[in-house]
């Protein structure tokens, strides 16, 4: 399957490509995608190991897509991704993977949490992604919304979205085969 930021286009040709890709993600053909089907397809259909290993990014993209609209299947569909949500899923997956990359680059010890020390040590690279941060302690406290003393991925994502985080070395036009 050919997947790129171009495959999220709105032309009839791109919609057909997406439908073909959706069908590959949906092996039982029931017209809805579970998280397990999405997870497996990222590994087996897209063959993108880096994304497959970024489970929190996959989960965020899945949650964002299924919450995108009201299901045509009633309550059953609200827990799954339908075709009309699939384009948004692909866009979200790309974006949340970028946030995951930024999070991982900041999480120096790899424990899937960012401490104040790690945040301070990464300040210069974070500022490349989001712009100047005046009060680093205050910014950390603002991100740590649950007050646990660590920044979790979901907290980081909310902050990254608000700050329009953009990695300096990402490729928005990457094509993966």
pLDDT in tens, 155-169: 999 999 999 999 887
**Is residue 46's pLDDT more than 90?**
no
So what's the pLDDT on residue 14? Answer: 87
The average pLDDT across 117-132 equals 97
Q: Whole-angstrom Cα distance, residue 22 to residue 85?
A: 10
**Is residue 78's pLDDT more than 90?**
no
List the beta bridge partners of residue 4.
175
In three-state form (DSSP H/G/I as H, E/B as E, the rest C), the secondary structure along 61-72 is HHHHHHCCCCCC
Give the predicted TM-score (pTM) of the model: 0.84
Query: Exposed, middle or buried: residue 169 (CB in 10 Å: 0-12, 13-18, 19+)?
Result: exposed
List the beta bridge partners of residue 136.
none
Q: Whole-angstrom Cα distance, residue 50 to residue 52?
A: 6
So what's the pLDDT on residue 48? Answer: 75
Q: In whole angstroms, what separates CA 106 from the centre of its chain?
A: 17
Q: Whole-angstrom Cα distance, residue 49 to residue 62?
A: 17
Q: Whole-angstrom Cα distance, residue 164 to residue 68?
A: 20
Q: What's the N-to-C CA distance of the chain in angstroms?
A: 6
Q: Name the average pLDDT for the chain.
A: 87
So what's the pLDDT on residue 114? Answer: 98
So what's the pLDDT on residue 1? Answer: 30
Q: Whole-angstrom Cα distance, residue 40 to residue 11?
A: 27
pLDDT 10s digits, 2-36: 344 446 778 888 889 999 999 999 999 999 999 99
């Amino acid at each position: 399957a050919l997947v790129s930021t171009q495959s999220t286009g709105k032309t009839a040709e791109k919609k057909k490509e997406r439908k073909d890709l959706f069908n590959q993600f949906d092996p039982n053909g029931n017209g809805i995608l579970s998280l397990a089907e999405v997870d497996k397809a990222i590994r087996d259909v897209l063959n993108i190991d880096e994304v497959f290993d970024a489970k929190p990014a996959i989960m965020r993209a899945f949650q964002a897509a299924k919450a995108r609209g009201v299901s045509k299947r009633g309550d059953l569909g609200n827990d799954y991704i339908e075709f009309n949500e699939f384009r948004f899923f692909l866009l979200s997956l790309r974006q949340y993977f970028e946030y995951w990359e930024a999070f991982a680059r900041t999480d120096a010890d790899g424990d899937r949490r960012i401490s104040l020390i790690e945040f301070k040590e990464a300040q210069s690279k974070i500022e490349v992604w989001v712009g100047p941060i005046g009060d680093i302690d205050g910014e950390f406290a603002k991100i740590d919304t649950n007050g646990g003393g660590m920044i979790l991925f979901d907290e980081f994502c909310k902050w990254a979205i608000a700050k329009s985080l953009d990695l300096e070395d990402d490729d928005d036009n990457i094509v993966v085969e």
